[in-house]
Structures are given as structure tokens and as C-alpha cells.
Structure 1
């Protein structure tokens, strides 16, 4: 059973049938690191594994696949000790002290002496065997630096802005020593600047200083200069054009770029910070680790090197903050930057020792050797064994690099116990009381979204809400800007709540948009819904009953692209919308016998846009009150349809053929015979290529 958000689900709440774990791979990890969109993990036995993007061969497995969600071993060796990664490239140090590179080699960042070839398997950097640590520009640069066991510092790759620290503005394709000092202990690289620590706790930097990541040094610095006079720094972290430092007392400090308040000091009036500014969390909690990317920052606090809580801020696109409120990359609303730190919803009891952030996602190593991750998963960088169509995002942490194959999955989910992920569900049964916030959490667990490949969820086939209660005035259109079940392209059947409960839905906007297999749903009880815009766009439903709805005010594109739709019953009050039946080529009957108006309303532009362009609208029978038939026929737009009254049967004449013992019915100008002992079947008839509904 999968690990879910922040508590284990009881069997009374969630039931999974037919569980069949097959070839499950279990791991105990000792380290984890991330590049831009690729994750590297080293097993306790020293083996190296990778998952995520592989477009430049950075996974190191010599595969043509560009994205892989299954953790894959790199080679067969079990002597790997350390990993570091950048934008589509990575570095590794073995237990024998040798340094290895893989992936993109732009500007000679691999350090192997060439500047053109990408390396699809780890390739040794030189012949030295005394490398201790390695770091690199992680998102927008191609520069690397490493420290040897003798304390010397070396750099290579792009040096055109002085970020190599070698006294020039040149690039190098092999490691070059930075100065002659032998007391370097840590180095970290931003886009075009480098910061490093010495054994005496002093801080040094070089490279581009446009946004003050080098404090008040010059605009371009080509050799190491001391930053400030403090000598109690314990750890530094460079990201984009911002720098962070942790002091020996566990306090966190920041300087450099503050665009969009991303630094963490929450002062929109300050574009850049030229001197270290302290960031405080909770009751002066001690900071253990800091990580981040262009649009996100993560800070782990705790005691004695153990992280007990993680704070995050920045963009929550694709659930990058890990607090369960994330939105998909294509959402039209809700993408504001969060500057007040939120707490990542780690599973209950999980403590960590490492944090590593890729672009829009983050992973942590727990004290018991597991990896948990959240955020963007567009290439499987969370290692959750998902298929291409499931490579979306995860809004709260899940355990990574674990596999569970289940033949048949039925989840019963209470509104108070929503799992973090439902990628493997075939059927979902909802219980408890659901409001808009609960539905958004469910949608995040499903991972349904469209507009960014891969499209939607391809596993869920049935949603049963018949046991669910719906809170008053609930919207199925979520604050994040999409419908709750949008894009479930394997969904065939939906059971709505009982009529009394269904009436609490206020809007079904986009609720089932692009559920391209949806055939069976009865929404007749949703009588208080006023907004149906895009509700069934692209579905395969054949008939819909809206006759009981009280007042539909918005319904643009509600049934557009529903090419199997045959009949629709409209309510007494409805404001017809553009593209309402835009491409419904199978549509035979619109029953508007409940229409409460006194004359035919104006038909919206494009209501039958594509049907009108390609087929005769006379194929569609419009049923209106008898008293309004002539009003509709007098309207040039409505007259294009086959307008009939409520008493019309679709049969224009009935005659008896005594000699043949038959009854002759005239339907659409064509005579159809039936036996006297029987009767003409009601339903849809195709007469000379035209559809006629016999009632």
C-alpha cells in the first residue's frame, strides 16, 4: 500500500482490492541529490541510481529514453560515495577519490578536456584520486568546482564572467586550481558566481555581482575575495543570484537578489541585499539545511543535524511547496508567489538528514534511509514508477523510488482522509462531506490536468459519489483554475450524489472537461447549478437531462465536441451560450418543452458552429411548447432546426393498408409499414439521411 500524505489511512477509510506486489525493489539510501530535473541516489551498498530527465544522457544509463520514472542503476559498481548535478549534467565521486562526469558538456563543464560531446555514461575526469567534494551551477550555468582532500580548490567549465576564480575571464575544459590556498572546506555555485568557505569560517566569493551575491565587491570579480569579516560561517548555498549562509549557531542569513521577495526577507521595497540579513523561523529554530531553485526555497530546521520540519516559499506551481495546495502548471489562476513560509507536509514521524531541490521539486533523505519527494514530476524525477500519462506532479510528499503494482485498485476515500496520490486508482468511492477545498485536495491526488503534456490521468475508470455528501454552495471549478475531474481520459462512469446532495453543487464549470471516455452520468439532481461552461467538453455522453435545473446562467461550450450526444433536455430558464452544441454531429433531439419564455430567444452566435457549417440542422428536432412553435419557426436561426411542438409525435400521417394487414406511418416524408397487431417503435429514425425522433 502506498505511503500517503501525513497519516496512514485505515482500512475502514480506504480499501484496495486485488493487491499484487510484483518484483518490488526495496532500497536503503545513504544520499540523494538533484539536478535541474534528474535525481541521483546512492544506496547503502554503494550502488548509484538515477531517474527523471535523460535528454542529454545525464542519467548515465546509455538510454535513448528522455524521461524515466523507474529508478535505474548506473553501471554495476558499488563504490560510489557522492553526487552533484546541474542542468542536464552530473558529477560523482567514488570511494577511491576519483571524479566522474555525465550528461551535457556545454562549455566543457564535464571537465574531461573536450567541449562538444555529451556523455551518456559516467566518464572519469582526469586521473587524480584525491577528490573530496564537487559542486556545480545547478540551473542556468555550466560551471563546476571541486575540493581535494589536501584542501585545494579547482574549477572548470564556463568562466567568461570570472566565476572560475582563476584571475581571468576564460573557460576551461579541465580542472584548474583556484589560487594556492589549501584550506577550502566548501564551495557552492549560482548562475555566474561562486561562494566558498575556508577552514577558519571565513566566506569568500567571485564572479558576477550585479545583484550583490558577492556583497559590496566589484561588478565582476575574477579571483576570490573575502566577503565581510565574519568567521563563524558553517555552510553556504548559492542559487541563481542569491546566496545563503548558515552560521555555527544555526542562524540563517541571506544576501543578493530579492526579486519577487524570493530571498525570504519579505520586503518588496528591496530589490537586492548587499549585506547578510537574518531570516528567522518560529522560535529561532536552528537551521540544518537550505536548498532551492529559481522559484522555490526550502529550509530544514531541527537539532543535532536532524531535520524535523521543512519550511518552503515561492511558486506553488506543480505543488512545489509540498503543503498540499499546489496547482498544475497550466492552471489559469492561483499561481501567485508565496512569500510567507509554509510547512511541508512530511508524513507523520519522518525526520530527514538531507534536502535537495531540483527545478520545481524537492526530495529529502529520511533518517531511516528512505527518500520522500514532492512537486514537479513531469519526467518521473520523483521515481514513482509512473507511466508517461501519470508524469504530472505531487502536491504533498510521497515516498520515492518504491514500486507497487496492483492489478485492480478500488479506493474508498473519506473527505477527512484524502491520500497524497491516486495515480494507480481505477475506481474511487467518495464518502463524507465534500466542499471545494476537499475537492481540490482530491484533484491534486488524482493528478488530473490538461494543456501540458502528458495529458490527464489514464487509470481512473469510475467515480462513485452516491455515498458522498456535498456541502452547500460547492463549486466543482477549483480556485486553482480547473475542474475537479478534468482530463480523466479513462473515466467512463460517474455516479453523482443523491438528488438532495447533488443540489448543493453551485457550479460544474469544467468539471468533466476532456474526460474523453465518459459515457454514463446523471446530473439531473444538480438543480441549483448555474454554471456549466465546458462541463462536458469532449465527453462521450449520449443524453443529458437538465430539465429540473432552476436557472443556468452560463453554459458556453458545455457540450462542444461531444460527438456521441443524441438528446438533451433543457430547463425552463437557461441563458444559452456560445458553442453550446459546437460540434455535436450526432445530436438528434433538443427537448425544450419546459421553456418558460413567451417568444423564441435570440440564438447565441456559434451555438451550432461546426454542425451548421458541415451538416443540415434539420437533422436536429427542437421540441418547444405548442404555443411557441410559430415563434421559433419565424426566427431565422431557430428555423434551421426541425421545430415541433410538445404534442408532435414525429409522425405526419397514419394510414391503414387492409390488403396487407399493415399500418402505414409517414415519417419525414417517407412511408414506414408496421403490422396492425404491433405498433411503431418509439425512438430515433434515420430517414433519407435525416434524423427523426418518434415519440
Structure 2
């Protein structure tokens, strides 16, 4: 029995051991299947990731091509890696089709730590379109096509068919109203509408810019103290303000004109006025003068005043004219400078301090392209962009680093290239060829916009976070207007003339961007 029992016990033990080995073997096989399934799932996920990386690289490649519609930008083909997931892609080749309507990108994707590698060909399709009609929430454009317009090639993983529209159905960015030109007292917007910034009594307007419906299609605005002129596209000049010396050229004197009124029988391309005298160049490049002339300041060799335009140096063709405090400069069509009138401090640039009553070329042989007259100094830019100055220098307004007056032109900031200069009351402003605005001279009341009220003897950057395309000040004012490259208006100097909003009072030592006046339209989509 004992054997039987022992035998039975061995059988029980044997059976138990056999069952244990089978169970372990079964569990091992099950684990192997689970592990293989996990590996397969992981590989599948990695394959999806690599495929998505290839797709993303192709889309990025296409977007770079589309960022420069001139076709000169070449996207990078180098290996680029991402962090999440840690996958790298390389554009192995870019093969355009013979018809130019597609290009095949061979892109390789791999894991950063070396594992799976995938190489796929992605075909970019070309779509021809002419205009953007709208942008979605992510800034992506919708393209349309207009018959007869120049088309661009737009690349994408899938070809598209732009909606055909007519020109009057076009939808796209609609520019808002911007400033085309502006001075301390007046301006012109992008619709050709004239604006006046609160002239002096008795033509006082609201303490904000006021737009006028007439004249229309205005291109040039000039303002100086208590008067101003607008020139329309046809060259008709409209004057307003103080006319005590007949300086508006309307055929009468001793009054004030509160509505812009046209000067008959003349078409002008440039105009300048100060100290009761006005000068203009007509469409045939003839120079004319009117207003106060009793001191010989009109340049016709006489000491007479006129209330209608009178020809000056009629055999010479002129391109520019600028007048200050009884002294005037002009440029002829060869770029030669002429001057006449009051000559204290050597203002006329002829090496003397003697007044001249007849328009006369100055001795300098420099060829100039632009001029501007201030109260005590004149400025000019030559064909190389070099800036020159002459006249009174006690406030540093000549910009040559000294406080000394000069009777012949001297260089300002030698080597710098300027595109515009404007002269004011004992100070000047200029814009260089990169759009930076500079000022120098008397800085009282923050009139230079440099952040303080100190005088400057050399051109100093104006404190403004913008690039500029034009600037205009006046010989007898303590404030200046500038227009940035986006058409925005900035004011520098003393508040209170209507250019500044009524809510902004006192002086500002830095340039201040002016808000859009009532009537300006903000940019939008149409």
C-alpha cells in the first residue's frame, strides 16, 4: 500500500510537473504573441509618423516656393529634424516635369536615433491663378483667376482649380485711407482730398484736421504760417489764408481768404511761400513770383509788389523753388542753384552778405536735385545724396558740427546719402536713403523730436519707431509733419495747431503718431 501510495504520489507529482511546464510554455507563447503585436503596433505608428513627416516637408517646400511668386526662391533640401516626433527629413531630389505643371520631390524620412527609414516620392501640382480673394483664419490665401491678368504658379500637393471671376467681382484687400503728403498746416490723403489743420483767425477751424470736398484730385499741399496752397492733378493752384500782400495771387490784396480759391490762367507743378512772397514753377518750367517785393525779394530786379503771377528769369527752365525769410533759392533744369533776396549771414550762398534783387546763379558748380529754405539757412541735396547747408549757424542749424555761419555751401554729414531735406525755424530735418529721419539745430520745446530739448549741431536720429518717406516743416513754425512708409502721419514739436488731436496737449520731445482723422477709412477686405 505504501508503494501504491508512493507510486500514486509520484504520479501526482509527475502530472503536476507536466502541467506546470505546459502552463509556462503556453504563457511564453502568449507573451511572444503580445510582444510581436506591440512591436507591430509601434512600427506601424513610426511608419505613420515618417509618412506624415514626408507630407509636411512637401507642404513646407511648396509654401516656400509660393512665398516668392517671382520664382527666384529655392527651398532648402538639407536634412531637417523635429523634436516631437524625433524624425528627420531630407529632400533627395526635385525633378520638374517637361510641361512645367508638376515636380516630383523624393523625400527621405528617418528616426533621429537611427531606426526606420522611409523614402517616398511626392508630386507637387501647379495651379495657375491671378489674385488672392480672401484669407482664412490662419492667414492662408484663397486664389481666383481673372481673364487677361498676369498669372502666378501656385504649388501644392494637390492641384486646384481657381474660381473664375470677372474684374468687378474681385474680392481682396481694400486699402484704407492714408496720407500722401502733409505739412504743419495741411495735407492730402490717398483719395486726393485736401485737409487743413486749423489756420489762424479769422479762418479758425475745429481743433482737429478738417477735410474739404473741393478742390478734388489734389496732389500737393503747401502750408506756411497763416496761408497755404493746394495743387490738383491738372496743376491748378488753390490759395487760402492771409492775403495782405497779395501773396495768394488772386488779383487782390489786403484781405483773408478762408476757402481755397484757384489762381486763374496758370498751371503749376511746385509752389513755395513765406514772409508775404510766393513763388511757383509752371508746367512749362517757367518761374513766377507775386506778393511782397518792395525789398527786391521777388527776383525780377525791381522793388515792386504784385498780386498776380509775374515771370522771373523767363529764359531759364526751373525745376524747384523754395523761399524763406525774404530770401529764395531755385534750381534750373541743369541742377544749378540760383538765389536772390535778403542775404544776411550769407543766406544766398554766393560768398557775400549783400542782398540781390535779380535771380542769379550761385558760384558753386555742384549739381543739386532738391532744395529747402529756412528762416536763417538754406539746404540742398546733390546728385550723390550729399547734403549741403549755408547761412546762419549759431544754433547748430547748418549741421556741420559748428556754430559758425557760412556764406558758401558746406557739406553736412559727409558720406551720408539723403533723399529729402526740409528747413524750419533755426532747425532742419532730413530723410536718408534708408528712410531714417534726422534733425539738427534748435531743440527748444522738443522741436527736433530727439527725445529732449537740446540743440544739435549734426544730424541726429528722430525718436520714432518708423521709417519715413517725406517730412515737411516751415520757416516760421515750431512743429513738423512727417509721413511714414505706411502712409501714417507723425507730428514733432509744439502741440496746438490742429495737426495734433485736441486731447494731446503741451510739447512732446519725441515724434508722435497722429490718429486717423474723422473721415479716414481703415484697411479692410472688400
TM-score by length of 1: 0.47
In structure 1, the partner of 2:336 is 202
Q: Secondary structure at the match of 2:183?
A: strand
Q: Is 1:173 matched with 2:311?
A: no
Q: 1:262-297 CA distances to partner (integer Å, 9 max, x unpaired)?
A: 2222323x3x3121111116xx22011112322322
Q: CA deviation at 1:207?
A: 0.7
Q: CA deviation at 1:311?
A: 1.7
In structure 1, the partner of 2:413 is 280
Q: Is 1:91 matched with 2:235?
A: no
Q: Select which of 143, 151, 158 maps to 2:277.
A: 143
Q: 1:169-206 CA distances to partner (integer Å, 9 max, x unpaired)?
A: 11111110002224100001010111100111111111
Q: Secondary structure at the match of 1:211?
A: helix
Q: CA deviation at 1:343?
A: 1.5
CA distance in 2, matches of 1:145, 1:258: 26
Alignment of 1:106-125 (within 5 A): 106-125=244-263
In structure 1, the partner of 2:62 is none
CA distance in 1, matches of 2:356, 2:431: 31
In structure 2, the partner of 1:568 is none
Q: Is 1:105 matched with 2:243?
A: yes
CA distance in 2, matches of 1:342, 1:220: 32
CA distance in 1, matches of 2:245, 2:352: 26
Give the direction of change, closer, same or farther, for the CA distance of 1:56–1:146 in structure 2 (3 Å limit). Answer: farther
Q: Secondary structure at the match of 1:312?
A: strand
Q: 1:453-508 CA distances to partner (integer Å, 9 max, x unpaired)?
A: xxxxxxxxxxxxxxxxxxxxxxxxxxxxxxxxxxxxxxxxxxxxxxxxxxxxxxxx
The alignment of Structure 1 onto Structure 2 pairs a total of residues equal to 341
Contact 1:46 1:79 in 2 (8 A): yes
Q: Is 1:267 matched with 2:410?
A: no
CA distance in 2, matches of 1:255, 1:145: 21
Q: CA deviation at 1:78?
A: 2.9
In structure 1, the partner of 2:210 is 72
Q: Is 1:376 matched with 2:494?
A: yes
Q: Which moved further from structure 2: 201-210 or 252-261?
A: 252-261
Q: Secondary structure at the match of 2:395?
A: helix
Q: CA deviation at 1:401?
A: 4.0
In structure 1, the partner of 2:182 is 32
Q: CA deviation at 1:89?
A: 0.3
Q: Secondary structure at the match of 1:259?
A: coil
Give the direction of change, closer, same or farther, for the CA distance of 1:79–1:116 in structure 2 (3 Å limit). Answer: same
Q: Which runs of 5+ in 1 are unaligned?
A: 1-25, 58-63, 327-335, 405-695
Q: 1:71-125 CA distances to partner (integer Å, 9 max, x unpaired)?
A: 2112344321111122200011111221111001121111112111100001111
Q: Select which of 185, 190, 195 maps to 1:44.
A: 190
In structure 2, the partner of 1:363 is 481
Higher share in strand: 2
In structure 2, the partner of 1:258 is 393
Give the direction of change, closer, same or farther, for the CA distance of 1:206–1:76 in structure 2 (3 Å limit). Answer: closer
CA distance in 1, matches of 2:336, 2:393: 24
Contact 1:90 1:103 in 2 (8 A): yes
CA distance in 2, matches of 1:313, 1:209: 22
Give the direction of change, closer, same or farther, for the CA distance of 1:292–1:210 in structure 2 (3 Å limit). Answer: closer
Contact 2:447 2:479 in 1 (8 A): yes
CA distance in 1, matches of 2:241, 2:372: 23
Give the direction of change, closer, same or farther, for the CA distance of 1:403–1:192 in structure 2 (3 Å limit). Answer: closer
Q: Secondary structure at the match of 2:309?
A: strand
Q: CA deviation at 1:158?
A: 0.9
Q: 1:392-449 CA distances to partner (integer Å, 9 max, x unpaired)?
A: 2222222224269xxxxxxxxxxxxxxxxxxxxxxxxxxxxxxxxxxxxxxxxxxxxx
In structure 1, the partner of 2:437 is 310
Q: Which runs of 5+ in 2 are unaligned?
A: 1-175, 519-526
Contact 2:327 2:343 in 1 (8 A): yes
Give the direction of change, closer, same or farther, for the CA distance of 1:315–1:205 in structure 2 (3 Å limit). Answer: closer
Contact 2:339 2:362 in 1 (8 A): yes
CA distance in 2, matches of 1:340, 1:274: 18
Contact 2:194 2:230 in 1 (8 A): no
Contact 2:353 2:407 in 1 (8 A): no
CA distance in 1, matches of 2:386, 2:360: 23
CA distance in 2, matches of 1:361, 1:311: 14
Alignment of 1:547-566 (within 5 A): none
Q: Is 1:353 matched with 2:503?
A: no
Alignment of 1:344-493 (within 5 A): 344-347=462-465, 350-358=466-474, 359-382=477-500, 384=501, 386-387=502-503, 390-402=504-516
Alignment of 1:679-690 (within 5 A): none
Contact 1:380 1:391 in 2 (8 A): no
Q: 1:367-401 CA distances to partner (integer Å, 9 max, x unpaired)?
A: 2211112211123323x2x24xx432222222224
CA distance in 2, matches of 1:76, 1:203: 35
Contact 1:374 1:398 in 2 (8 A): yes
Q: Is 1:225 matched with 2:363?
A: no
CA distance in 2, matches of 1:341, 1:317: 16
CA distance in 2, matches of 1:251, 1:260: 21
Contact 1:253 1:276 in 2 (8 A): yes
Contact 2:322 2:372 in 1 (8 A): yes
Q: 1:600-625 CA distances to partner (integer Å, 9 max, x unpaired)?
A: xxxxxxxxxxxxxxxxxxxxxxxxxx
Contact 1:295 1:360 in 2 (8 A): no
Contact 1:161 1:220 in 2 (8 A): no
Alignment of 1:497-508 (within 5 A): none
CA distance in 2, matches of 1:213, 1:188: 13
Q: CA deviation at 1:56?
A: 4.3
